[in-house]
């Protein structure tokens, strides 16, 4: 259906950078959420750094094959409609005239240069914050770097370590696993896959929001600006392309972002928040309960006299979000539903799970023989839920351990993730 010029006012995106800032869901570039403050935190209240344990999402990557297919087939057709019939300002039309898809399906999910830079600078900043309390050179007894069996996680780890040490160090990386019980525990959790990820009922709120007046408004606005009717699937492809192309380069934003106004992009962001809330967040208890596997590793490490002092794990969005929910971070008083889009919420994946997102704990030795714990998210010190408010953002390690004692003690992934008649005996069985 072609829309004539009288059906739509000409759309001019006044400041598209402000419109899309921190509204690109899990594809938000890390530069939108990073903390550039590198003040030394090696000594706090007389306590000095003893150990660090952290989870780091890989940096900015290429899209999945399905999105690349849309970028190479669906979007060029819409591009022609925009150039011929689009109701947009001249300078924005010129951006579309010059646009070309620049990624192939063979490059799906690979780390891009911006992603490498994100992790390199992150490594530099963490080094500066802890200063002389971190050894200058790599030592296998002091450090543990590990990544999942993916190119994007591996090269995120390598770029981080290069920034962290200021040079290429001969680092010994443990064998990367497809189903890593610490870095990607959910990949082998059959019950979670069946009951949550592949369960149509898990997507009911996203589906309901897809039929809401807010989403219908987004489709209507984009159809007018493009000059032809667009489907919900096409709108999703436009939003994803807007996000990826913007994340790839800090010099500009994708032309596809200029189709959105603030209300439209906020609606698309909420659609993302709903999806990740129900699949990777608080929607189902099993989703975050299984993260006990990662935190068992934290407690083992912090209580070992012989283990590495600095542990850095390079992983994925699914691990970060489930870990965030395990810790009760950014939990809203009521579940996210299709109806409460207008409610103020804490669960914004654009803020909490951008590319390069990180969650790391610092264990401090204190003068009185006790241990204090600090939690950093996106390089910012945050309060640990369940810890006393009067201690500020710091928490007694003893208190923190008590908070999680039951969940760690009962952390049996086989019992949690498999029906009694099917407990895998090998990784081959899991595959």
Give the integer Cα–Cα distance in Å for 379 and 147.
Answer: 20
Strands 310-315 and 47-57: parallel
Is-contact 202 278, C-beta < 8 A?
Answer: yes
If one counts the domains in the chain, the total is: 1
Length of the chain: 431
**Does 424 map to a domain?**
no
DSSP 132-194: GGS-SS--TTTEEEEE-SSHHHHHHHHHHHHHHHTS-----PPPP-TT-TTTSGGGG-HHHII
Identify whether 422 is part of a domain.
no
Q: Phi/psi zone of residue 108: left (φ > 0), alpha (ψ -120 to 50 degrees), beta?
A: beta
CA pair distance 224, 245, nearest whole angstrom: 23
Do the domain assignments include residue 27? Answer: yes
Query: What pLDDT sits at residue 423?
Result: 40
403 occurs within a structural domain: yes
In a domain, 229, yes or no: yes
Q: Domain with 252 in it: what CATH number?
A: 3.40.50.1240
Q: Give the domain extent around 76.
A: 16-417
Q: Percentage of the chain surpassing pLDDT 90?
A: 85
Q: What pLDDT is stored for residue 422 in this prediction?
A: 45
| Regions in the chain scoring below 50 on pLDDT | 1-8, 421-431
pLDDT score recorded for residue 392: 75
Residue 430 lies in a domain: no
Q: What is the pLDDT of residue 44?
A: 84
190 falls within a domain = yes
In a domain, 428, yes or no: no
Each residue's pLDDT tens digit, 158-209? 999 999 999 999 999 999 998 999 999 999 999 999 999 999 999 999 999 9
């Amino acid at each position: 259906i072609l829309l004539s010029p009288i059906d739509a006012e000409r759309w001019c995106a006044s400041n598209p950078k402000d419109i899309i800032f921190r509204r690109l869901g899990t594809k938000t570039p890390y530069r939108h959420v990073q903390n550039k403050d590198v003040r030394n935190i090696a000594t706090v209240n007389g306590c000095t750094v003893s150990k660090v344990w952290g989870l780091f999402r890989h940096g900015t990557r290429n899209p999945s094959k399905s999105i690349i297919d849309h970028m190479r087939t669906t979007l060029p057709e819409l591009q022609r409609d925009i150039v011929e019939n689009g109701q947009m300002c001249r300078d924005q039309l010129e951006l579309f005239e010059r646009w070309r898809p620049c990624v192939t399906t063979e490059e799906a999910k690979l780390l891009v240069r911006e992603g490498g830079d994100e992790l390199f600078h992150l490594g530099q900043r963490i080094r500066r914050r802890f200063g002389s309390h971190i050894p200058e050179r790599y030592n296998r007894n002091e450090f543990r770097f590990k990544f999942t069996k993916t190119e994007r996680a591996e090269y995120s780890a390598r770029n981080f370590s290069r920034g962290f040490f200021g040079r290429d160090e001969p680092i010994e990386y443990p064998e990367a696993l497809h189903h890593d019980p610490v870095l990607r525990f959910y990949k082998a959790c059959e019950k979670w896959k069946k009951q949550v990820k592949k369960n149509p009922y898990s997507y009911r709120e996203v589906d309901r929001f897809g039929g809401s007046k807010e989403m219908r408004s987004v489709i209507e606005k984009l159809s007018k600006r493009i000059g032809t009717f667009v489907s919900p699937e096409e709108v999703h492809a436009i939003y994803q392309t807007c996000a990826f192309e913007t994340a790839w380069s800090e010099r500009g934003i994708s032309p596809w972002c200029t189709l959105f106004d603030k209300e439209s992009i906020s609606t698309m962001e909420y659609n993302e928040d709903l999806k990740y809330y129900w699949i990777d967040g608080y929607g189902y208890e099993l989703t975050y309960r299984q993260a006990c596997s990662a935190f068992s590793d934290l407690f083992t490490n912090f209580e070992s006299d012989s283990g590495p002092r600095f542990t850095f794990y390079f992983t994925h969005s699914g691990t970060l979000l489930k870990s965030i929910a395990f810790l009760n971070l950014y939990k809203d008083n009521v579940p996210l539903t299709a109806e409460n889009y207008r409610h103020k919420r804490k669960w914004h994946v654009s803020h909490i799970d951008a590319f390069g997102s990180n969650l790391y704990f610092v264990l401090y030795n204190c003068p009185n023989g006790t241990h204090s714990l600090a939690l950093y998210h996106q390089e910012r010190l945050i309060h640990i839920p369940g810890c006393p408010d009067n201690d500020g953002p710091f928490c007694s390690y003893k208190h923190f351990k008590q908070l999680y004692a039951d969940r760690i003690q009962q952390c049996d992934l086989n019992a949690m993730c498999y029906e009694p008649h099917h407990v895998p005996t090998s990784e081959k069985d899991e595959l």
